[in-house]
Structure 1
Amino acid sequence: MYPSLTFDVARAAWIAATARELEGFAEANRAELDACDRACRFPRELYRELGARGYLAPMVPAEYGGLGGGVAEYAVISEEVGRHGLVSGQIASQGQRWLLDWGTPEQKDRWLAPLSSGEAVFSESISEKNAGSSFRNLTATAVRDGSDWVLTGSKTHVNLGPASDVTLFYAVAEEGLTSFLVDMTLPGISTQQTDPVGLRLIPTGDVVFDAVRVPASAILGVPGGGLETFLSTFNISRLGNASELIGLARRALELGLRYARTREVGDSMVTDFQGIQWMVSDAWQAVQAASLARDHAALWHHAGHDIAFETSVAKRLAIDAAEKASETSFSLTGGHGLYTDEPYHSILSDIKVLKVGGGSSEILRNYLARRILKDPGHEGLA
């Protein structure tokens, strides 16, 4: 597992131990995780326990309660979360990354440790009903009022919005797109949980800001610097997104094969048929290709390079691999996989949500095409 991410013996040992611990944690809490998934309920206590073990903060320095690792540790944890159906710390990692890259000392002191431990929950209030991937269509506003700012706008698709303690609110100010770290207990903020088809352990919600007054110290970065803050984090968080998809692909194949190896069809097992074997081979190859692309992106970042292109490739391949693996699992299980008390429908639904979140498949293909066409010789792309 993760052969190209094992830079040294110590990291290899950590990866093996992490995989074992997260698998055991998932098995011990399977009933609660499944119940929360069905009810679309955030398992806060399990989330806190993962935080206490350091798994919500792989890239946060130890002084703030994190593991003190890098993108390799982040990728491994994200994949194991997908593989075992655990509650994701992806949103927390994005918030921590924002704080590490752009936060003031005061912002870091207030939020990094509680976000790392799971005692505080982070959300990102970015998308609007008519503004998904295009910031130019945002209608949320930020208006100066003396030394304060007044924030107004409605956000949707906010993972953990109703459960969060702090949100990163993107709004248009006179200077341009600006991001604000906002305490969710402030007057004028209201939330309503929605009912997503997948990733139901980190439910989505609508978040409304009605003339919410915040101090200037709430700004993350500088006024007008919102696009820069957004891109700096999402080019890294796309690695976590790709890794969760790879984990879901592995889970689908592992569960499907576990059933198919014992399922008799006449005088044969399901896995004896050549058509099934070809599907398994193709799915496994797709997962391997996505894993290698993800590992390359992580190593590219470790070497200090920009990784926008590499993470886009990794996520595109991870989407394809996850969909192929999920489709194969339904062929392996037949009627057995068609019921809600089995995990296959939940895996498929999680894949559909991850396919859209953090850069949809179509947006990524457009971006990759522009980069490739701009540089036909592929110089500097990888």
Structure 2
Amino acid sequence: MDFSLTPEQQQIRDMVAEFVDEEVVPRAAEIDAADEFPWDLVEEMSDLGLMGMPFPEEYDGAGLDYHSYAIALEEISRGSGGLGTVVAAHTSLAGNMLNAYGDDDQKSAFLAPLNRGDDVGAFALSEAGAGSDVPAMQTTAEKDGDEYVVNGDKLWISNGSVADTVTLFAKTDPDAGHRGISSFVVRPEEDDGFYVEGTEDKLGDKGCPTAELRFDDMRIPESRILGEEGDGFTHALETLNGGRITIAARSIGLARAALEDSLQYAQDREQFDQPISEFQTIQHKLADMDTKIQSAKLLMHRAADKKIRGEDFIKDAAQAKLYASEISREVTNEGIQIHGGYGYTKDFDVERYYRDSKLNEIYEGTSEVLRNTIARRLLK
């Protein structure tokens, strides 16, 4: 596939890159150390229209195509992996759920504030016993008059402790397997019975809180259901398919950061009376790092192109996410190796890129699950 950016896409890339260089990169180490949600940066991104990039202007979105969104998320993640996850969970998951499956009233009430950045979104699917095995979820939503009563727990919820709007999955028919799962909109500040049990102390992805949520007889009006009862499993899978494109973007952003730092370091660091960039071993590492990044970009944009065209992009998104996530770990690892002992210290950013990159192989479809998905599409 031959892919070149349009003038508008170049403008988006340059604008976001400038913002990241000026505002995010200087703060990234602080965000990582403090592990606190960067409210001020989210507000600045809202002012730039970066919290509702791929959604219609009718609902206060920016109306960008999925290429532009992926490009912007790549740049944001280049500056901070945690901030990249904040935007991806907010947009690719919560926002995409509302945009795809909400009715006009739901979009006006819940999607528009997300797009403006007035609200932060989260996507509550995973549970302690239901990660890749979605139908194993235990959270239930029982109809009671014109309300649903929700009970259960969710785990690993990005933005979960700070979200104003949560798209929630629960079983409305516990005996129907995946056909009994439905999706809802939850408002933590409004809905009694919504509790944040705590947030995880993670290896990386700092600044994006990963929360455990509990629902104790939480009552929500029936107007909060997305689509019909039993649609939730399909909603989850289709949303995750689109989300995988942007996890590929996060992966590429982190890999690019490692390459850019390594290029600079290799030319500055001298050993045996010459820059280490003069050694063929280092040159080969840099060449392999860039080749992997460029290959991942093509896979990402191929998946985005098929999504935009309305074609089947499930395999393409799985391949983009699988490959980009794995080369992200490999490239950031090589970045540490090029930096030598310095790369293993917090004085240099490459150790943070490495920690942040590992998550890409786990969330929104583990590498093992994605290989299953790809194989099924090949054998179909």
Look up the match of 2:36: 41
Alignment-mate amino acid for residue 144 of structure 2: D
Look up the match of 2:139: 140
2:59 counterpart (47, 60, 64): 64
CA contact (8 A) 2:160 2:211 kept: yes
**CA RMSD in angstroms, aligned pairs only:** 1.7
Look up the match of 2:102: 103
CA contact (8 A) 1:196 1:203 kept: no
Q: Secondary structure of the residue that 2:239 maps to in structure 1?
A: helix
Once residues 350 and 83 of structure 1 are traced to their aligned partners in structure 2, the CA distance between those partners, rounded to angstroms, is 11
Look up the match of 2:192: 187
**5+ residue gaps, structure 2:** 174-178
Once residues 161 and 325 of structure 1 are traced to their aligned partners in structure 2, the CA distance between those partners, rounded to angstroms, is 30
Matches within 5 A, 1:200-211: 200-211=206-217
Look up the match of 1:378: none
CA contact (8 A) 1:91 1:122 kept: yes
Q: Secondary structure of the residue that 1:149 maps to in structure 2?
A: strand
Once residues 341 and 97 of structure 1 are traced to their aligned partners in structure 2, the CA distance between those partners, rounded to angstroms, is 38
Look up the match of 2:176: none
Shift of 1:349: 1.4
Once residues 224 and 79 of structure 1 are traced to their aligned partners in structure 2, the CA distance between those partners, rounded to angstroms, is 34
Shift of 1:179: 0.8
Look up the match of 2:318: 312
Look up the match of 1:158: 157
2:286 counterpart (261, 269, 280): 280
Look up the match of 1:199: 205
Q: Secondary structure of the residue that 2:371 maps to in structure 1?
A: helix
Shift of 1:223: 0.6
Look up the match of 1:9: 7
Look up the match of 1:380: none
Alignment-mate amino acid for residue 365 of structure 1: R
Once residues 240 and 362 of structure 1 are traced to their aligned partners in structure 2, the CA distance between those partners, rounded to angstroms, is 18
1:13-51 Cα offsets, whole Å, 9 max, x none, are: 443333334333324xx23x3222212110112111101
Alignment TM-score, normalising by the size of structure 1: 0.92
Once residues 331 and 345 of structure 1 are traced to their aligned partners in structure 2, the CA distance between those partners, rounded to angstroms, is 10
Look up the match of 2:22: 24
Once residues 194 and 52 of structure 1 are traced to their aligned partners in structure 2, the CA distance between those partners, rounded to angstroms, is 29
Moved more, 319-328 or 124-133: 319-328
**Which ranges of 4 or more aligned residues in structure 1 deviate by more than 3 Å?**
8-18
Once residues 141 and 269 of structure 1 are traced to their aligned partners in structure 2, the CA distance between those partners, rounded to angstroms, is 61
Once residues 342 and 281 of structure 2 are traced to their aligned partners in structure 1, the CA distance between those partners, rounded to angstroms, is 19
2:272 counterpart (266, 269, 275): 266
Once residues 309 and 158 of structure 2 are traced to their aligned partners in structure 1, the CA distance between those partners, rounded to angstroms, is 31
1:287-342 Cα offsets, whole Å, 9 max, x none, are: 11111111111112222202111011111110222122112101210111111232
Alignment TM-score, normalising by the size of structure 2: 0.93
Aligned residues: 369
Look up the match of 1:84: 79
Matches within 5 A, 1:164-175: 164-174=163-173
Once residues 4 and 25 of structure 1 are traced to their aligned partners in structure 2, the CA distance between those partners, rounded to angstroms, is 29
Once residues 34 and 205 of structure 1 are traced to their aligned partners in structure 2, the CA distance between those partners, rounded to angstroms, is 22
Alignment-mate amino acid for residue 65 of structure 1: D
Once residues 346 and 196 of structure 1 are traced to their aligned partners in structure 2, the CA distance between those partners, rounded to angstroms, is 12
Shift of 1:5: 4.8
Q: Secondary structure of the residue that 1:158 maps to in structure 2?
A: strand
Shift of 1:351: 0.9
Residue 162 and residue 69 in structure 1: after superposition, are their counterparts in 2 closer, same or farther (change >3 A)? same
Once residues 364 and 122 of structure 1 are traced to their aligned partners in structure 2, the CA distance between those partners, rounded to angstroms, is 25
Once residues 213 and 5 of structure 1 are traced to their aligned partners in structure 2, the CA distance between those partners, rounded to angstroms, is 49
Once residues 121 and 100 of structure 1 are traced to their aligned partners in structure 2, the CA distance between those partners, rounded to angstroms, is 15
CA contact (8 A) 1:59 1:71 kept: yes
CA contact (8 A) 1:249 1:326 kept: yes
1:351-371 Cα offsets, whole Å, 9 max, x none, are: 111210111111101111222
CA contact (8 A) 2:326 2:361 kept: no
Shift of 1:231: 2.0
Q: Secondary structure of the residue that 1:54 maps to in structure 2?
A: coil
Shift of 1:3: 7.5
1:112-168 Cα offsets, whole Å, 9 max, x none, are: 222112221111111111110112211111111111110000111011111111111
Once residues 110 and 338 of structure 1 are traced to their aligned partners in structure 2, the CA distance between those partners, rounded to angstroms, is 47
Look up the match of 1:290: 296
